[in-house]
Amino acid sequence: MEIEVLQSLFLKHKERSLFGRYIHSKHIEPLLANLPKTFKVDVLGQSINHQNIYSITLGTGDKKILMWSQMHGNESTTTKAIFDLLNTLKDDSEVSQAILNHFTLIIIPILNPDGAEMYTRLNANLVDLNRDAQQQSQPESNVLKTCFDSFKPHYCFNLHGQRTLFSAGPYNKVATMSFLSPAQDIARTVTETRSTAMSVISRMTKNLHIEIPGQVGIYDDTFNINCVGDAFQSLSVPTILFEAGHYKDDYNREEVRRLVYQSYIVALNAIMLNDFDDNDIQYYLKIPKNDKLFSDILIVNARFDNAVMDVAIQYEEHLIGNTIDFIPKVVKIEKTISGFGHKTINANGNCVLSSDNSTLEVGMVVNIVVVNNEVLSLKLGNN
């Protein structure tokens, strides 16, 4: 499908009531209530704090796909893109009819509603649901596994978001999107199941490289049976990890949202076509591995007494009321910091001071820095 067609679909079907990083059940419940009757909304169970965990079942096709988002509550970009996809599938178009006729989809838009409301990775019991695949200690984990067992999907889409620090390989290329075909065993054998997931990822990556060349990465595939993706892959169900990353100045993750939506459509079309071959596997194996090489802000050549140092600053995301505040915090001061900055400030050998003229220190919050008497704001707008 042509890029221009995908872009047009997104603009037409973007769910404009969802914006920014803070998305929880109260945002999506009105949207669920307005879905057509052919989109069956169910309550699969409840979270620790007794919030409903919803699913949407749609389509009449033989090929079954299970998708879940916000297993980590503060990873909402893929959820926004889910509702963009649902809007597309509500439309009586050639694209939507092809998908609905070929697939039966079950989508869990927010698996961890407590974490989503609190804007935390963990659930209300402070458990990482993506490390609970075997122990099944949490109700949210049980909901997902019960759904998987009863639905018996042919594919799984495991939808996540990643931090701004990831690069696609050892290059000055941010990992705007990352994927993984998880290992199925400790030896990381390229089984038929893994190769199928790899092939779908290759098709998505080829499409993304048209717009963001070099900005797609692959996660480490070390086998961990406690991770849900590895667990489902080990049951011979092709499982694809989606990781929505960073795009230049896109801290609201709205441009990345479009790329996630685009990837959903491309993946579904690739599975429909089912014309994968060895070239897809080879393409996947050449996608660069994720590395941690980016700082949100990198200050280079800053003077500290008689030494010239680099300073790395990362934004911490804090929920303040109903908005996410990005707090700039010094995380590293070293003679030379290997890596890149989403924003780079060259101090040119001048002292870099905080707003009260104190010397920067690791752990310090710095909304403003002063470089050679120039005041520079490091704050982002709320979302």
* pLDDT, tens digit (0-9, with 9 covering 90-100), for 233-262: 999 999 999 999 999 999 999 999 999 999
What DSSP assignment string belongs to 282-336?
Answer: HHHHTSPBEEE-EEEEEEEEEEETTEEEEEEEEEEEEEETTEEEEEEEEEEEES-
Q: Where are the domains of the chain?
A: 3-292, 294-377
d(CA 169, CA 152): 35
Q: What are the φ/ψ torsions at residue 372 (nearest 5 degrees)?
A: 50, 45
**What is the per-residue pLDDT for 243?**
98
Listed as own residue / partner, the contacts of 269-275 with beta carbons closer than 8 Å and 24 or more positions apart are 269/1, 269/203, 270/199, 270/200, 270/203, 270/204, 271/63, 271/65, 271/103, 271/155, 271/200, 272/63, 272/98, 272/99, 272/102, 272/103
Q: Given a cut of 50, is residue 383 above it in pLDDT?
A: no
- Per-residue confidence (pLDDT) for residue 306, from 0 to 100: 86
Q: Report whether 352 contacts 300 (CB < 8 A).
A: no
Helix/strand/coil for 170: coil
pTM, to two decimals: 0.96
CA distance 235 to 10: 34
pLDDT at 32: 98
What CA–CA distance (Å, rounded) separates 44 from 149? 13
pLDDT of residue 382: 46
CATH superfamily of 3-292: Zn peptidases (3.40.630.10)
* Fold entry, domain 294-377: Urease, subunit C; domain 1 (2.30.40)
> CA-to-CA distance for 248 and 259, rounded, in angstroms?
13
Q: Report phi then psi at 79, rounded to 5.
A: -70, -45
pLDDT (mean) for 310-325: 96
Would you state the pLDDT for residue 381? 62
Residue at 254: amino acid letter: E
Q: Where are the alpha helices (DSSP H) in the chain?
A: 3-13, 25-33, 77-90, 94-102, 113-118, 139-151, 192-211, 228-234, 254-273, 278-285
| Rounded mean pLDDT, 1-9 | 93
The percent of residues in the chain predicted with pLDDT above 70, rounded, is 99
Q: What does the mean pLDDT of the chain come to?
A: 96
Separation CA 118–CA 74 (nearest Å): 8
Task: Give the pLDDT of residue 220.
Answer: 93
